[in-house]
Protein backbone atom coordinates (compact mmCIF):
# COMPACT_ATOMS: atom_id res chain seq x y z
CA UNK A 1 0.00 0.00 0.00
CA UNK A 2 1.80 3.11 -1.26
CA UNK A 3 -0.97 5.66 -0.96
CA UNK A 4 1.13 7.84 1.36
CA UNK A 5 4.85 7.98 0.71
CA UNK A 6 7.73 9.46 2.59
CA UNK A 7 10.69 8.95 0.34
CA UNK A 8 13.38 10.07 2.77
CA UNK A 9 13.94 7.53 5.53
CA UNK A 10 16.25 9.93 7.36
CA UNK A 11 17.21 13.59 7.61
CA UNK A 12 19.95 15.32 9.61
CA UNK A 13 19.82 19.03 10.38
CA UNK A 14 21.89 21.38 12.48
CA UNK A 15 20.27 22.87 15.56
CA UNK A 16 18.68 26.23 14.77
CA UNK A 17 18.25 25.46 11.07
CA UNK A 18 15.07 24.57 9.24
CA UNK A 19 13.95 20.95 8.94
CA UNK A 20 11.79 20.12 5.93
CA UNK A 21 10.05 16.77 5.84
CA UNK A 22 8.21 15.74 2.71
CA UNK A 23 5.25 13.52 1.96
CA UNK A 24 3.47 12.53 -1.25
CA UNK A 25 0.11 10.88 -1.68
CA UNK A 26 -1.72 9.24 -4.53
CA UNK A 27 -5.34 8.98 -3.39
CA UNK A 28 -7.42 11.98 -4.49
CA UNK A 29 -10.03 11.08 -1.90
CA UNK A 30 -7.79 12.14 0.97
CA UNK A 31 -9.20 15.35 2.47
CA UNK A 32 -7.26 15.76 5.69
CA UNK A 33 -3.59 15.37 6.47
CA UNK A 34 -1.69 15.09 9.72
CA UNK A 35 1.84 14.89 11.00
CA UNK A 36 2.74 12.75 13.98
CA UNK A 37 6.00 12.52 15.86
CA UNK A 38 7.17 9.29 17.46
CA UNK A 39 9.88 8.63 20.02
CA UNK A 40 11.15 5.07 20.64
CA UNK A 41 8.90 3.01 22.91
CA UNK A 42 6.11 5.58 22.69
CA UNK A 43 3.04 5.95 20.54
CA UNK A 44 2.71 8.57 17.80
CA UNK A 45 2.01 12.07 19.08
CA UNK A 46 -0.09 14.46 17.05
CA UNK A 47 1.77 17.56 15.84
CA UNK A 48 -0.22 19.48 13.27
CA UNK A 49 -2.85 18.95 10.63
CA UNK A 50 -4.28 20.57 7.53
CA UNK A 51 -7.54 20.29 5.68
CA UNK A 52 -7.51 19.89 1.92
CA UNK A 53 -9.26 23.25 1.56
CA UNK A 54 -6.20 25.03 2.92
CA UNK A 55 -2.64 25.28 1.68
CA UNK A 56 -0.89 26.23 4.90
CA UNK A 57 -1.30 25.78 8.62
CA UNK A 58 1.06 27.09 11.24
CA UNK A 59 1.48 26.27 14.92
CA UNK A 60 4.49 27.75 16.64
CA UNK A 61 7.66 26.32 15.14
CA UNK A 62 5.70 23.91 12.94
CA UNK A 63 4.16 24.75 9.57
CA UNK A 64 2.51 22.33 7.19
CA UNK A 65 2.16 23.17 3.50
CA UNK A 66 -0.20 21.38 1.15
CA UNK A 67 0.06 21.39 -2.64
CA UNK A 68 -3.04 19.58 -3.84
CA UNK A 69 -2.20 19.71 -7.51
CA UNK A 70 1.12 18.00 -6.82
CA UNK A 71 -0.38 15.75 -4.12
CA UNK A 72 2.46 16.83 -1.88
CA UNK A 73 2.74 18.12 1.65
CA UNK A 74 5.64 19.18 3.76
CA UNK A 75 6.36 19.90 7.39
CA UNK A 76 8.71 22.75 8.24
CA UNK A 77 10.27 23.00 11.68
CA UNK A 78 11.96 26.30 12.43
CA UNK A 79 14.18 26.54 14.36
CA UNK A 80 15.03 22.88 14.80
CA UNK A 81 15.95 21.73 18.29
CA UNK A 82 17.71 18.56 19.48
CA UNK A 83 14.46 17.51 21.21
CA UNK A 84 12.83 17.39 17.78
CA UNK A 85 14.88 14.29 16.95
CA UNK A 86 12.26 11.58 16.36
CA UNK A 87 10.49 9.69 13.60
CA UNK A 88 7.95 11.86 11.80
CA UNK A 89 4.93 10.24 10.16
CA UNK A 90 2.73 11.80 7.57
CA UNK A 91 -0.85 10.50 7.66
CA UNK A 92 -3.95 11.06 5.58
CA UNK A 93 -7.68 10.59 6.04
CA UNK A 94 -10.01 9.62 3.23
CA UNK A 95 -13.21 11.54 2.69
CA UNK A 96 -16.28 9.55 3.71
CA UNK A 97 -14.29 7.08 5.79
CA UNK A 98 -14.45 6.38 9.51
CA UNK A 99 -11.50 8.81 9.75
CA UNK A 100 -8.87 6.11 10.05
CA UNK A 101 -5.32 7.17 9.29
CA UNK A 102 -3.25 5.97 6.36
CA UNK A 103 0.37 6.40 7.34
CA UNK A 104 3.57 6.98 5.46
CA UNK A 105 6.66 4.98 6.35
CA UNK A 106 8.19 7.77 8.42
CA UNK A 107 11.31 9.94 8.34
CA UNK A 108 13.89 9.79 11.12
CA UNK A 109 14.88 13.37 11.91
CA UNK A 110 18.13 13.94 13.75
CA UNK A 111 18.86 17.46 14.94
CA UNK A 112 22.54 17.86 15.66
CA UNK A 113 23.62 20.18 18.46
CA UNK B 1 -3.00 15.92 29.92
CA UNK B 2 -5.32 12.93 29.43
CA UNK B 3 -3.68 9.88 27.91
CA UNK B 4 -4.60 6.69 26.16
CA UNK B 5 -3.21 3.81 28.21
CA UNK B 6 -2.48 0.32 26.93
CA UNK B 7 -1.74 -2.87 28.83
CA UNK B 8 0.33 -4.92 28.85
CA UNK B 9 3.33 -3.13 27.37
CA UNK B 10 4.73 -6.47 26.20
CA UNK B 11 2.87 -9.75 25.68
CA UNK B 12 4.59 -13.01 24.82
CA UNK B 13 2.30 -15.82 23.69
CA UNK B 14 2.62 -19.25 22.18
CA UNK B 15 1.39 -19.65 18.63
CA UNK B 16 -2.22 -20.79 18.55
CA UNK B 17 -3.14 -19.13 21.82
CA UNK B 18 -5.60 -16.29 22.25
CA UNK B 19 -4.53 -12.85 23.41
CA UNK B 20 -6.45 -9.83 24.59
CA UNK B 21 -4.88 -6.42 24.31
CA UNK B 22 -6.38 -3.75 26.50
CA UNK B 23 -6.78 -0.03 26.04
CA UNK B 24 -8.29 2.73 28.12
CA UNK B 25 -9.12 5.59 25.76
CA UNK B 26 -9.36 9.20 26.90
CA UNK B 27 -12.50 9.40 28.99
CA UNK B 28 -14.72 11.69 26.90
CA UNK B 29 -13.64 10.29 23.55
CA UNK B 30 -16.16 8.57 21.32
CA UNK B 31 -14.12 7.14 18.42
CA UNK B 32 -11.71 4.27 18.96
CA UNK B 33 -9.15 2.66 16.71
CA UNK B 34 -6.62 -0.16 16.61
CA UNK B 35 -3.50 -0.04 14.47
CA UNK B 36 -0.51 -2.31 14.22
CA UNK B 37 3.08 -1.90 13.12
CA UNK B 38 5.05 -4.94 12.12
CA UNK B 39 8.77 -4.40 12.66
CA UNK B 40 10.23 -2.38 9.79
CA UNK B 41 6.84 -1.70 8.21
CA UNK B 42 4.26 1.06 8.22
CA UNK B 43 1.65 1.65 10.86
CA UNK B 44 -1.48 -0.05 9.49
CA UNK B 45 -5.11 0.53 10.31
CA UNK B 46 -7.01 -2.45 11.70
CA UNK B 47 -10.43 -1.31 12.87
CA UNK B 48 -12.47 1.68 13.97
CA UNK B 49 -15.25 1.57 16.57
CA UNK B 50 -18.00 4.05 17.30
CA UNK B 51 -21.31 3.86 19.12
CA UNK B 52 -20.59 0.29 20.23
CA UNK B 53 -20.04 -1.10 16.80
CA UNK B 54 -17.35 -1.46 14.19
CA UNK B 55 -17.53 1.47 11.76
CA UNK B 56 -14.79 0.31 9.40
CA UNK B 57 -12.21 -2.45 9.23
CA UNK B 58 -9.26 -3.24 7.02
CA UNK B 59 -8.51 -6.43 5.10
CA UNK B 60 -6.16 -7.42 7.91
CA UNK B 61 -9.04 -7.50 10.39
CA UNK B 62 -10.42 -10.92 9.55
CA UNK B 63 -12.36 -13.44 11.66
CA UNK B 64 -9.30 -13.98 13.82
CA UNK B 65 -9.77 -10.51 15.31
CA UNK B 66 -12.52 -8.97 17.38
CA UNK B 67 -13.00 -5.79 19.38
CA UNK B 68 -15.15 -5.01 22.35
CA UNK B 69 -15.95 -2.17 24.65
CA UNK B 70 -17.06 -4.24 27.65
CA UNK B 71 -17.65 -1.28 29.96
CA UNK B 72 -17.50 2.48 29.82
CA UNK B 73 -13.74 2.69 29.90
CA UNK B 74 -12.00 -0.30 28.30
CA UNK B 75 -11.56 -1.06 24.62
CA UNK B 76 -10.09 -4.47 23.84
CA UNK B 77 -8.64 -6.24 20.84
CA UNK B 78 -8.84 -10.02 20.89
CA UNK B 79 -6.73 -12.14 18.58
CA UNK B 80 -7.73 -15.79 18.40
CA UNK B 81 -5.41 -18.60 17.40
CA UNK B 82 -2.37 -16.37 17.07
CA UNK B 83 0.14 -16.84 14.28
CA UNK B 84 3.81 -15.93 14.03
CA UNK B 85 2.94 -13.11 11.66
CA UNK B 86 0.76 -11.47 14.30
CA UNK B 87 3.93 -10.38 16.06
CA UNK B 88 3.83 -6.59 15.95
CA UNK B 89 3.34 -3.42 17.94
CA UNK B 90 -0.38 -2.79 18.46
CA UNK B 91 -1.52 0.78 19.02
CA UNK B 92 -4.84 1.94 20.35
CA UNK B 93 -6.07 5.45 19.50
CA UNK B 94 -9.08 7.56 20.33
CA UNK B 95 -10.56 10.88 19.28
CA UNK B 96 -13.27 13.06 20.73
CA UNK B 97 -15.08 13.90 17.52
CA UNK B 98 -14.94 13.00 13.88
CA UNK B 99 -12.76 15.92 12.92
CA UNK B 100 -10.36 15.77 15.83
CA UNK B 101 -6.89 14.21 15.72
CA UNK B 102 -6.43 10.77 17.17
CA UNK B 103 -4.43 10.33 20.34
CA UNK B 104 -2.36 7.17 20.60
CA UNK B 105 -1.31 4.94 23.43
CA UNK B 106 2.27 3.74 23.77
CA UNK B 107 1.41 0.37 22.30
CA UNK B 108 1.58 -3.29 23.23
CA UNK B 109 4.43 -5.28 21.78
CA UNK B 110 3.04 -8.70 20.91
CA UNK B 111 5.55 -11.50 20.41
CA UNK B 112 4.27 -14.83 19.14
CA UNK B 113 6.59 -17.80 19.71
Q: What's the helix, strand, coil split of chain A in %, to 5? A: 5, 55, 40
Any chain A CB within 8 A of the CB of B101? yes
Position A64 pLDDT exceeds 80: yes
- Cβ <8 Å between A97 and B107: no
Percent of chain A with pLDDT over 90: 92
Question: Residue B111: CB partners within 8 Å, gap ≥ 6?
Answer: B10, B11, B12, B13, B87
- Cβ <8 Å between B42 and A1: yes
Distance from CA of B14 to the nearest CA of A (A): 23
Give pLDDT, residue A1. Answer: 59
- Cβ <8 Å between B55 and A98: yes
Position A107 pLDDT exceeds 70: yes
Q: Is B98 exposed, middle or buried (0-12, 13-18, 19+ CB in 10 A)?
A: exposed
Compute and round to an integer the Cα radius of gyration of chain B: 13
Give tens-digit pLDDT for B54-87.
Answer: 999 999 999 999 999 988 789 999 999 999 999 9
Nearest-by-Cβ selection for B45 from A34, A44, A102: A102
- Cβ <8 Å between A43 and B4: yes
Position A95 pLDDT exceeds 90: no
Give tens-digit pLDDT for A5-47.
Answer: 999 999 999 999 999 999 999 999 999 999 999 999 899 999 9
A-chain CB neighbours of B95 within 8 Å are 99
Q: Using CA atoms, how far apart are residues B47 and B77, in angstroms rounded to an integer?
A: 10
Per the model's pLDDT, the better-predicted residue between A97 and B103 turns out to be B103
- Cβ <8 Å between A100 and B33: yes
Assign B50 a pLDDT band (cuts: 50, 70, 90).
Answer: very high
Give the least confident one: A32-36, A87-91, A99-103, A106-110.
Answer: A99-103
Give tens-digit pLDDT for B87-110.
Answer: 999 999 999 887 789 999 999 999
Amino acid sequence: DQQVKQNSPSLSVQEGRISILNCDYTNSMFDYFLWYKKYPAEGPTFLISISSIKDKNEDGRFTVFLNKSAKHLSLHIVPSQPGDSAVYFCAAIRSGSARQLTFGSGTQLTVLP
Amino acid sequence: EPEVTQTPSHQVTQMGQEVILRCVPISNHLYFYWYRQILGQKVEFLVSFYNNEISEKSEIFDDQFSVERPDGSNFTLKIRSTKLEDSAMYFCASSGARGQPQHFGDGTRLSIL
